[in-house]
């Protein structure tokens, strides 16, 4: 099959990044260039006859209707290549993240650095598709915003790959994946400089922009194992919105015929909460991580290094998060009384 223009773009991206890593001082061992292919993933909802395995306990038993999940599927080689070159200095982390967005076809007009007292955030916006006149009449609320957020700062005595380069570098991958087709809602990808950066981002939003946020998804410590989730039990006022975020996570897992993520309370490793300011203002948020009890001492420790991450698990996580993002953008209807029928959710003033 002949290479497409996008295939050649990704191969060129890897060659350019390899040169930049050498320029920035990262130790890069030259490896033979493999054929890099980005394919358009079109996952159709499968019938019961083609899948004998039943959804895991706690996940939806059936999908209400046939839908398609469409996103650009980066090759495993590309994802792991970008993951494994881990800058140790925060300014270089920021520069490398910015270049990753650009190389993955994020227009510079949709990418900006947000400076605040003491730091810098990197924000990438994937705008919602224009609303047609007919759609505007049937959906007066218009597009919402879905925020994916991660802390890019180096943490602890190790390489700080798990906590939290693994989450920060995932955001450019998700931007690229979702850019495959027009989206119903706007996606904002925020690589922030710790909790101070998350607060600066929140403070920069107008009341209308805050109220327009459908949900916040924080990524932290990925690639150790299957994705798990945590929602704060103290945010009872956000319960409908939190339930909605978790339910769509389960729907995405059912769509892929994998076990639904389990709830997991983060341990002492969880020192930087980039959802705090949003949750305190009644914006629904969920934390996605992969730290099982046996790995609780890894993040931020001297053993926080690339060798601790399972490349296959990390790549699977990319696919599952991309699917989750698409489902958030265009969720299946649900007859559950616990789920809100539409946003925005009630906000605490």
Tokens of 174: 């998700």
Buried b (16+ CB within 10 A) or exposed e, 24-35: eebebeeeeeee
104-135 pLDDT, tens digit each = 999 999 999 999 998 999 999 999 998 774 45
Question: Do residues 127 and 186 touch, judged by C-beta distance below 8 A?
Answer: yes
pLDDT band at 238 (very low <50, low <70, confident <90, very high): low
Share the mean pLDDT of the chain: 80
Q: Quick check: helix, strand or coil at residue 259?
A: coil
Give 224's contacts (C-beta < 8 A, 6+ positions apart).
Answer: 162, 290, 291, 292, 295, 298, 308, 309, 310, 313
Task: Please tell me the pTM assigned to this model.
Answer: 0.80
pLDDT of 328 above 50: yes
Beta strands in the chain (DSSP E): 39-44, 68-73, 111-116, 119-126, 145-151, 186-192, 213-219, 228-230, 285-289
Dist CA 225 CA 295 (whole Å): 9
Rounded to an integer, the average pLDDT of 218-223 is 98
In the chain the domains, ranked by start, together with CATH numbers, are 5-45+58-131+143-329 (3.40.630.10)
The token pair at 101 is: 């967005």
For the stretch 247-300, pLDDT in tens is 999 999 999 999 999 999 999 999 999 999 999 999 999 999 999 999 999 999
Q: Would you state the pLDDT for residue 37?
A: 32
pLDDT tens per residue, range 14-55: 555 555 544 343 433 333 323 233 333 333 333 333 333 332
Instruction: Determine how many CB atoms are found less than 10 A away from the CB of residue 59.
Output: 20
Q: Rounded to the nearest 5°, which phi and psi values hold at 296?
A: -60, -25
DSSP 3-state of 38: coil
- Looking at residue 94, what DSSP letter applies? H
- Considering only residues 333 and 110, tell me which one the structure prediction assigns the higher pLDDT: 110
């Amino acid at each position: 099959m002949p290479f497409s223009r996008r295939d050649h773009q990704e191969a060129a991206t890897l060659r350019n990044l390899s040169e930049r890593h050498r320029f920035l001082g990262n130790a890069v061992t030259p490896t033979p260039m493999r054929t890099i292919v980005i394919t358009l993933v079109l996952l159709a909802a499968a019938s019961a006859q083609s899948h004998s395995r039943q959804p895991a306990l706690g996940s939806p038993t059936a999908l209400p209707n046939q839908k398609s999940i469409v996103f650009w599927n980066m090759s495993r080689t590309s994802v792991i290549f970008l993951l494994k070159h881990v800058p140790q200095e925060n300014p270089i982390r920021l520069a490398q993240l910015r270049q990753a967005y650009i190389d993955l076809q994020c227009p510079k007009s949709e990418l900006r650095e947000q400076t605040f007292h003491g730091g810098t955030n990197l924000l990438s916006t994937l705008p919602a598709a224009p609303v047609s006149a007919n759609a505007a009449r049937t959906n007066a609320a218009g597009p919402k915003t879905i925020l994916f957020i991660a802390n890019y700062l180096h943490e602890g005595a190790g390489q700080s790959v798990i906590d939290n380069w693994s989450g920060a570098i995932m955001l450019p991958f998700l931007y690229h994946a979702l850019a495959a087709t027009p989206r119903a809602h706007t996606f904002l990808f925020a690589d922030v400089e710790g909790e101070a950066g998350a607060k600066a981002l929140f403070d920069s939003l107008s009341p209308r922009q805050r109220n327009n946020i459908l949900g916040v998804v924080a990524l932290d410590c990925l690639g150790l194992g299957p994705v798990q989730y945590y929602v704060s039990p103290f945010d009872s006022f956000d319960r409908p919105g939190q339930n909605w975020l978790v339910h769509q996570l389960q729907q995405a897992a059912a769509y892929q015929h994998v076990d639904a993520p389990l709830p997991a309370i983060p341990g002492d490793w969880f020192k930087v909460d980039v959802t705090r300011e949003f949750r305190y203002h009644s914006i629904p948020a969920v934390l996605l991580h992969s730290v099982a009890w046996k790995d609780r001492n890894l993040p931020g420790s001297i053993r926080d290094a690339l060798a601790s991450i399972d490349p296959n698990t990390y790549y699977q996580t990319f696919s599952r998060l991309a699917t989750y993002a698409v489902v958030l953008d265009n969720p299946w209807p649900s007859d559950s009384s616990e789920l809100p029928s539409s946003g925005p959710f009630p906000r605490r003033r």
